Structure 1
Amino acid sequence: MSAGISKVNVPVQDRVMLHLFENDEQADRYLVGPELTRPGIAESCALHPPNVSRTMRDLLKKNLVSEHTRNIKGDERRQKTWQLTDEGRDKIQVIKKKLSGIQVVIRDNNGELLELEASSVPNRLDANISLLQVLMHAQHEGVLTYGDIRFGAITKSTETEPTNPPGRLKALTGVHATYNNQPPKTRVVHGRDDQFAALNEWFSERKPCMVIHGIAGIGKSTLIANWLNQRMTETPNLSVCWYPCQPWDTSLGIATSLLHRFGIDESHDPYNLIETLPLNPGGQVDVDMLRRRLLAYLTDAGTIRERFKDEPGGPPPYWLIVLDDVHHVEENSAKLLGAMLQISQNSPLRIIMISRNRPSVYDRRDVHTRDLVSEMALKGLSKNEIENWLNELEISEDVEAVYQKTGGHPLALELFELYGQSVHVDWLQFIDDEILFKLPENEKRLLTTLANYEKPLSWEELATEADWKGPPPKGLISYGILIELADGMWLHEALRERLLRDIK
């Protein structure tokens, strides 16, 4: 979970008592639902069954619950159940008041992140969910999203409003809280002609996946957004899902949004795809079942035509999924990403991944021999592109000097355009936040050692000075942070200036 998201942690006994209180209408009944059994309590409270038994022993000692053996709906055998005592009902009122005030983060129907008390979440999400469900989803997933299909139908919607297919121009209510069907508005792209040509070639060859990787702020998302705007003009029926991955995203959240985009909801789920999603907090997506059923759905031309028959232009020729900042979710969602890549090989689905590093969810053979994945390592602008940019601004500045200080980094050049300083304080702050603070300690020590020198240093000397074992770090070199020159190793000029400030 991201450090910026409020962390919810509900004590186990409070969870169990709140669950029993929310099912208190079944107290003293001869026939009760499975909610009051050990498995039912474990499922609702995100606990292992042995922990339920342990918790119940503690609550029984405090006389907060009572234990009974009752008949269970849908089960032939009698089972042990629990309910609150009168003392427990008094106690839960105090607990409920405390839990209702816990701050929970939600994403509303406009896509905005809001932090509010747990008791007001159901109304803001227009969802018929309990306080315990709110707290459990917040504890295990971080953010609750408007329109999540696990929360049931949107209770605020009226009967007279037509049901629109998810992910189209008039999307299902709440679906665009997590993704967009248009690329984001971005700044003007300078240069990048070779990259645009490579993207057009990939698009025309209909390969399953394109990966764009490079350091923060190098212009990855800007490049794809500008290119995609052009493609959507030329292919108006192209169905796009631009999903901005966040540090708190989970496989479940991504899968839920993608199913929305493919037209899956409670009224249209011919392959039972919703069953592959855990409807209770803390559960895991059944990735293998999702892969099999989603592949069957996407390759069922008749079902797709029926789903989108009322849409202008009919069903989309294929779906284009853009996963922006995929490095945020790669570690925790590797299986889902791998499954989506496998689906794209045999269905009308294509994927663009944007990342700060090269993802490890596919095999190198997919790039070099199977020709399934295309990769593009995005670096700074060339000297010619910088010169053209400066000419457009009518700025007479030595191109070589600007290139040395910015490395062709678009953000640094934009700040130069705004303030006339090739190493602006905002650029240095960006280097801190997005590069230096995220480097491993040994790589930072290597760069700091090199920053002390006034000229390039051979790798052998640098490695000795920095106590570095092994070959030069490929990551720093590929992203233009560490530069290999004829005279030896050098580093990005703006990065050097930032490091020298610490040294001095």
Structure 2
Amino acid sequence: MVRLPLAMAGDIPKVNVAAKDRVLLHLLANDEWADRYMVPPVMTRPGIAEACAQHPPNVSRTMKDLLKELLVEEHTRAVQGDERRQKTWQLTEEGRLRARQRQVVLDETKVLVRNMEGDLLEVKANEASTLLETDLTLLQILLHAQHEGVLTYGDIRFGSIRKQDGGEVPKPGRLTPLVGVHATYANRPPTTRPVYGRDRELDTLHGWFADRHPCMVVHGIAGIGKSTLIAHWLQQHMENDPHLSVCWYTCQPWDRALGLATSLLHRFGIDETHDPYRIIETLPLTPGADMDVDAWRRRLMAYMTDANTIRERFKDSAGGPPPYWLIVLDDVHYISEKARHLLGSLLQLAQKGPLRVLLVSRTELSVYDRRDVHIRDTVRELPLKGLSLEATEAWLSTLESKDAPPAKEVHAATGGHPLAMELLELYGQPTHKDWLRFLDEEILLRLPDKEKELLATLAVAQSPVPWEALAKGVGWNGLPPENLVKHGLLLELEDGMWLHEALRERLLRDVGEQQQARKQRLN
């Protein structure tokens, strides 16, 4: 770096970048878009002309020379934001080598920079961006130097000033779609423990799949064995159909519609090298942007119902093109509200396309209504409850311990809850502290005090209680709490309201004056 005296300000070094060098530097800076099915406008003739400060005809003449030298390749590709395909260019391997060689040479070009203090500095071109605290590329630095002479700190044309301290993380910029998406889902169900007492539920699942029905919703309280049941059923099914195309996606509390939509596209065989219906365009590529769910659904439907496209895409896959996909969304309650529209569009796709959807949830979902279940028959539901006394007895018979408690005692204490049975296998206690802790952390401690008191009051009853009597006893106004009903914690039976047996056993441990007061409120 050379600090120049003010008297020398008129002796500006000449910078002149040849047209070929401009194009090579530009294509090298955008080499990440090579071989992509869809590219940004910067890879087209107008985009290259704008970036290289050239008239479009000059770009065409330069490209002809570069093509003759085998430094670039010419393609016709889909362009973001444009309905028609356009001619684009990218570097060849020889072109990349030449571009890097020219970059090394041009990095050493001397340019003039006026820094924040107003000092005029002569620096190498590759140092200018740091001094100006901008994100200018080498090509932009050289072109500004050629046409302006001096690059001045804070010039509004250079964009916002970006100061980065040592440990500061830069703000996220434009995202690359489908990066790392293969790690978000599985092609097979997880390995599970043996399943007891679910023969009726397994028959229901087999019947649903054999009927080619679009959607099944399996719901029940936490730990009741929903995922285990589905995984066990799917493992059985895949023994007979090993090439079944499965997407097992476990939803997380931090998931959003965009993450799920991106993973599904990847499972359907769509990526940046194969996207004939340009579905990726519907995904927002900037953080926080909204997703166009309707466009995503329409284009995906066109893709999935195009038999020739699907056949061509999966012709080299084991088992050939899939006749349909099975999508399992586990713990979907985490995203049922945040991805409501996406889930609704997925149900529409399942009704018309080669797709079946299996939703696993702790709650009853609101992405469909009762008409879809009882009238239209587009959704089937499978509520899971605790194991029967017979199933509990069968499970206990497999234990090696001779000190296992009687089946009736275990069933009364746990309500046949599979998680409690698993802990019994480990610790030999039907109500181990980990089981009680699970009920507290996953269910009871998350409830509002008034709803928890309602369940605790109902727990002291010996039989179902009419809602009017229960509501009067706890001072509740209105309908039964939707949150408890939706999660299957409060059950509406013909004789009145009741609660899950596992919760009842846990709540009955609150003895003393509180329990007596609750009994009096129900009398």
Q: Same fold (TM over 0.5)?
A: yes
Aligned pairs for 1:18-167 within 5 A:
21-23=134-136, 25=138, 26=140, 29=143, 65-67=154-156, 81-83=157-159, 92-94=163-165, 97-100=166-169, 131-133=170-172, 149=177, 151=179
What are the within-5 Å matches in structure 2 for residues 333-482 of structure 1? 333-393=339-399, 397-451=405-459, 453=460, 455-456=462-463, 458-459=465-466, 460-473=468-481, 476=484, 481-482=489-490
Is 1:272 aligned to 2:341, yes or no? Answer: no
- In the alignment, the residues of structure 2 paired with residue 351 and residue 415 of structure 1 have an alpha-carbon distance, to the nearest angstrom, of 32
Question: Per-residue displacement from partner, 1:260-303 (whole Å, max 9, x unpaired)?
Answer: 10111111111101111111111122111111110000011101
Aligned residues: 374
- 2:197 maps to which residue? 191
Per-residue CA deviations over 1:163-186 (Å, capped at 9, x if unaligned) read xxxxxxxxxxx4431000000111
Please say if residues 18 and 132 of structure 1, whose CA atoms lie closer than 8 Å, have aligned partners that are also in contact: no
Distance 1:465 1:498 in 2: 21
Q: Give secondary structure in 2 for the equivalent of 1:306.
A: helix
Q: Distance in 1 between matches of 2:510 and 2:159?
A: 62
Question: Displacement, 1:439?
Answer: 2.3
Whole-angstrom distance in 2 between the partners of 1:257 and 1:332 = 16
Aligned residues: CA RMSD: 3.1
Find out whether 1:244 has 2:357 as its counterpart.
no
Partner of 2:233: 227
Describe the SS at the equivalent of 1:392: coil
CA–CA distance in structure 1, aligned partners of residues 413 and 187 of structure 2:
38
Relative to structure 1, the CA distance from residue 233 to residue 487 in structure 2 (aligned partners, 3 Å threshold; closer, same or farther) is: closer
Distance 2:393 2:487 in 1: 21
* Distance in 2 (alpha carbons) for counterparts of 1:366 and 1:487: 27
**What is the SS of the residue equivalent to 2:258?**
helix
SS at match of 1:132: coil
Matches within 5 A, 1:283-302: 283-302=289-308
* 1:312–1:99 distance in 2 versus 1, CA, 3 Å: same
Q: Is the 8 A contact 2:192 2:232 kept in 1?
A: yes
Change (3 A) 1:326 1:398: same
Find the counterpart in structure 2 of residue 495 from structure 1.
503
Note if contact 2:456-2:507 (Cα within 8 Å) is conserved in structure 1.
Answer: yes
> How far off its partner does 1:22 sit?
2.6
CA 1:431–1:299 in structure 2 vs 1: closer, same or farther (change >3 Å)? same
Deviations 1:233-275 (CA, angstroms, capped at 9, x unpaired): 1112210000001111111111111111011111111110111
Secondary structure of the 1:432 match is helix
Measure, in 1, the Cα distance between the counterparts of 2:194 and 2:450.
Answer: 37
Secondary structure of the 1:181 match is: coil
Query: Does structure 2 retain, via aligned residues, the 8 Å contact 1:405–1:492?
Result: no
What is the CA–CA distance in structure 1 between the aligned matches of 2:419 and 2:469, rounded to whole Å? 32
Of structures 1 and 2, the larger Rg is shown by 2
| Pair 1:256 & 2:262 matched | yes
Alignment check: 8 A CA contact 1:406 1:423 kept: yes
User: Are residues 83 and 374 of structure 1, via their aligned partners in 2, closer, same or farther at CA, if it must alter by over 3 Å?
Assistant: closer
Look up the SS of the partner of 2:265 in the other structure: helix
Task: Tell me the amino acid that sits aligned with residue 99 of structure 1.
Answer: E
Which amino acid counterpart does residue 423 of structure 2 have in structure 1? L
Contact 1:276/1:286 (8 A) holds in 2? yes
TM-score (norm 1): 0.67
Q: Secondary structure at the match of 1:248?
A: coil
1: CA distance between counterparts of 2:494 and 2:276?
62
CA distance in 2, matches of 1:196, 1:356: 19
1:466 shift after superposition:
1.0
Provide closer, same or farther for how the CA distance between residues 192 and 31 of structure 1 changes in structure 2, counting only shifts above 3 A: farther
Confirm or deny: 8 A CA contact 2:178 2:266 kept in the other structure.
no
Which AA in structure 2 matches 1:23?
Answer: L
Give the secondary structure class of the aligned counterpart of 1:297.
Answer: helix
Between the aligned partners of 1:218 and 1:250, the Cα distance in structure 2 is 25
Q: How does 1:300-339 map to 2 (within 5 A)?
A: 300-339=306-345
Distance 1:19 1:320 in 2: 54
- Secondary structure of the structure 2 residue equivalent to 1:99: coil
1:176 corresponds in structure 2 to 182
Structure 2 unmatched ranges of 5 or more: 1-129, 147-151, 513-523
Q: Which amino acid in the other structure matches residue 330 of structure 1? A: S
Aligned partners of 1:487, 1:200: CA distance in 2, in Å?
33
Change (3 A) 1:477 1:339: closer
Structure 1 residue 387 displacement after superposition: 1.6
**Does 2:212 match 1:206?**
yes
1:375 is displaced (CA, Å) by 0.6
Shift of 1:487: 8.8
Q: Shift in Å at residue 472 of structure 1?
A: 4.4
Shift in alpha-carbon separation, 1:246–1:305, aligned structure 2, 3 A: same
Q: What is the distance in 2 between the residues matched to 1:493 and 1:370?
A: 34
Deviations 1:51-94 (A, max 9, x none): xxxxxxxxxxxx98333xxxxxxxxxxxxx4546xxx56xx142
With 201-210 and 459-468 compared, the bigger mean Cα shift is at 459-468
Deviation (angstroms), 1:389:
1.5
Task: Give the TM-score, by structure 2 length.
Answer: 0.65
The one-letter amino acid of 1:132's match is: K
Letter in 2 for 1:414: E
Percent identical among aligned pairs is 57
Contact 2:305 2:353 in 1 (8 A): yes
Q: Which amino acid in 1 is paired with 2:281?
A: E
Q: Which amino acid aligns with 2:167?
A: K
Task: Give structure 1 stretches of 5+ with no counterpart.
Answer: 1-16, 33-62, 68-80, 101-130, 138-147, 152-173
Q: Is the 8 A contact 1:191 1:385 kept in 2?
A: yes
